[in-house]
Amino acid sequence: MINRLTEQIKKKNAPIVVGLDPTEKLIPDFIIDKCIKEYGETLKAMEEAICEYNKNIIDAVYEYVPAIKPQIAMYERYGIPGLSAFERTVRYAKEKGLVVIGDVKRGDIGSTSAAYATAHLGSVKIGTKTVKCFDEDFATVNPYLGSDGINPFIDVCREEKKGIFILVKTSNPSSGEYQDKLIDGRPLYELVGENIAAMAEGFMGDEYSYIGAVVGATYPEQGRILRQIMPKSYILVPGYGAQGGKGKDLVHFFNEDGLGAIINSSRGIIGAYQNEKYASYGEEGYADAALAAVKDMKEDIAQALGER
Amino acid sequence: MINRLTEQIKKKNAPIVVGLDPTEKLIPDFIIDKCIKEYGETLKAMEEAICEYNKNIIDAVYEYVPAIKPQIAMYERYGIPGLSAFERTVRYAKEKGLVVIGDVKRGDIGSTSAAYATAHLGSVKIGTKTVKCFDEDFATVNPYLGSDGINPFIDVCREEKKGIFILVKTSNPSSGEYQDKLIDGRPLYELVGENIAAMAEGFMGDEYSYIGAVVGATYPEQGRILRQIMPKSYILVPGYGAQGGKGKDLVHFFNEDGLGAIINSSRGIIGAYQNEKYASYGEEGYADAALAAVKDMKEDIAQALGER
Name the closest residue on chain A to residue B77, using Cα atoms.
Answer: A119
Q: What are phi and psi of B304, to 5 degrees?
A: -65, -40
Size of interface A-B (CB pairs under 8 A): 214
Of A77, A184, A188, the CB nearest to B118: A77
Of B43, B71, B184, the CB nearest to A131: B43
Q: To the nearest 10°, the Cα dihedral for A271, A275, A278, A281?
A: 60
Chain mean pLDDT for chain B: 96
Q: What is the average pLDDT across B190-219?
A: 97
Does A41 sit within 8 Å of B129, measured CB to CB? yes
Per-residue pLDDT of chain A (308 residues; tens, 9 = 90+): 899 999 999 999 999 999 999 999 999 999 999 999 999 999 999 999 999 999 999 999 999 999 999 999 999 999 999 999 999 999 999 999 999 999 999 999 999 999 999 999 999 999 999 999 999 999 999 999 999 999 999 999 999 999 999 999 999 999 999 999 999 999 999 999 999 999 999 999 999 999 999 999 999 999 999 999 999 999 999 988 766 667 788 999 999 999 999 999 999 999 999 999 999 999 999 999 999 999 999 999 999 998 88
Q: Tell me the C-alpha distance between A234 and A3, whole Å.
A: 11
Name the closest residue on chain A to residue B238, using Cα atoms.
Answer: A109
Q: For residue B169, what are the β-bridge partners?
A: B215
Q: Tell me the C-alpha distance between A167 and A10, whole Å.
A: 25
Mean pLDDT lowest for which of A214-223, A248-257, B120-129, B178-187?
A: A248-257
Q: Tell me the C-alpha distance between A239 and B148, whole Å.
A: 15
On chain B, the residues whose CB falls within 8 A of the CB of A134 are 79
pLDDT band at residue B248 under the 50/70/90 scheme:
confident
pLDDT at A245: 67
CA A73-A74-A78 angle, to 5 degrees, is 100
Catalytic residue among B12, B34, B96, B105: B105
Query: Mutating which of A108, A131, A167 best tests the B interface, going by the most B Cβ atoms within 10 A?
Result: A108
Does A144 sit within 8 Å of B170, measured CB to CB? yes
Query: Mutating which of A76, A135, A151, A195 best tests the B interface, going by the most B Cβ atoms within 10 A?
Result: A76
How far is CA A44 from each of CA A36, A50, A76, rounded to the nearest angstrom? Answer: 9, 10, 13
Does B192 sit within 8 Å of A43, measured CB to CB? no
DSSP state letters, A63-92: TT-SEEEEBTHHHHTTHHHHHHHHHHHHHH
Does A82 sit within 8 Å of B133, measured CB to CB? yes
Catalytic residue among A12, A34, A55, A105: A105
Query: Mutating which of B126, B133, B190 best tests the A interface, going by the most A Cβ atoms within 10 A?
Result: B126
Query: Mutating which of A31, A78, A105 best tests the B interface, going by the most B Cβ atoms within 10 A?
Result: A105
On chain B, the residues whose CB falls within 8 A of the CB of A188 are 178, 181, 183, 188
On chain A, the residues whose CB falls within 8 A of the CB of B76 are 115-116, 119, 133
Using alpha carbons, select from B211, B208, B166, B173 the residue that is nearest to residue B189.
B166
Inform me whether the pLDDT recorded for B87 exceeds 80.
Answer: yes
Identify the three-state secondary structure at position A143. Answer: coil
Answer yes or no: are the C-beta atoms of B84 and B90 closer than 8 Å: no
Query: Mutating which of B72, B125, B177 best tests the A interface, going by the most A Cβ atoms within 10 A?
Result: B177
On chain A, the residues whose CB falls within 8 A of the CB of B240 are none
Separation in Å, CA of B130 to nearest CA in chain A: 9
Does A191 sit within 8 Å of B77, measured CB to CB? no
B12 as an active site residue: the answer is no
On chain B, the residues whose CB falls within 8 A of the CB of A115 are 23, 71, 73-74, 76-77
On chain B, the residues whose CB falls within 8 A of the CB of A171 are 109
Name the closest residue on chain A to residue B117, using Cα atoms.
Answer: A77
pLDDT at B246: 76
Separation in Å, CA of A14 to nearest CA in chain B: 25
Burial of B25 (0-12, 13-18, 19+ CB in 10 A): exposed
Answer yes or no: are the C-beta atoms of A146 and B175 closer than 8 Å: yes
C-beta neighbour count of A280 within 10 angstroms: 11
Dihedral sign from CA coordinates of B155, B156, B158, B163: negative
pLDDT at A241: 78
Max Cα separation, chain B?
60
Using alpha carbons, select from B124, B142, B27, B133 the residue that is nearest to residue B74.
B27
pLDDT at B239: 87
Does A82 sit within 8 Å of B134, measured CB to CB? no
Tens digits of per-residue pLDDT, B130-160?
999 999 999 999 999 999 999 999 999 999 9
DSSP state letters, B91-130: HHHHHTT-EEEEEEEE--SHHHHHHHHHHHTSEEEETTEE
Does A188 sit within 8 Å of B181, measured CB to CB? yes
Does A83 sit within 8 Å of B133, measured CB to CB? no
What domains can you pick out in chain B, each with its CATH number? 23-62+74-100+267-300 (no CATH), 107-265 (3.20.20.70)
Does A43 sit within 8 Å of B73, measured CB to CB? no
Inform me whether the pLDDT recorded for B245 exceeds 70.
Answer: no
pLDDT at B308: 80
pLDDT band at residue B241 under the 50/70/90 scheme:
confident
Q: Tell me the C-alpha distance between A186 and A190, whole Å.
A: 7
Q: For residue A265, what are the β-bridge partners?
A: A18
Q: Residues of B74-108 as b/e, b for ≥16 C-beta within 10 angstroms?
A: bbbbbbbbbbbbbbbbbebbeeeebbbbbbbbbbb
Separation in Å, CA of B196 to nearest CA in chain A: 13
Does B172 sit within 8 Å of A145, measured CB to CB? yes
Of A43, A119, A172, the CB nearest to B79: A119
Does A191 sit within 8 Å of B145, measured CB to CB? no
Q: Tell me the C-alpha distance between A2 and A8, whole Å.
A: 10
Does A172 sit within 8 Å of B145, measured CB to CB? yes
Does B142 sit within 8 Å of A142, measured CB to CB? yes
Q: Tell me the C-alpha distance between B157 and B160, whole Å.
A: 5
Q: What is the average pLDDT across B183-195?
A: 97
pLDDT band at residue B242 under the 50/70/90 scheme:
low
pLDDT at A27: 98
Name the closest residue on chain B to residue A84, using Cα atoms.
Answer: B80
Q: Residues of B184-199 as b/e, b for ≥16 C-beta within 10 angstroms?
A: eeebbbbbbbebbbeb
On chain A, the residues whose CB falls within 8 A of the CB of B177 are 146-147, 195
Inform me whether the pLDDT recorded for B286 exceeds 80.
Answer: yes
Q: Tell me the C-alpha distance between A256 and A12, whole Å.
A: 19
On chain A, the residues whose CB falls within 8 A of the CB of B129 are 41-42
Q: Residues of B208-229 as b/e, b for ≥16 C-beta within 10 angstroms?
A: bbbbbbbbbbbbbebbebbbeb
Q: Residues of A58-72 as b/e, b for ≥16 C-beta within 10 angstroms?
A: bebbbeebbbbbbbb
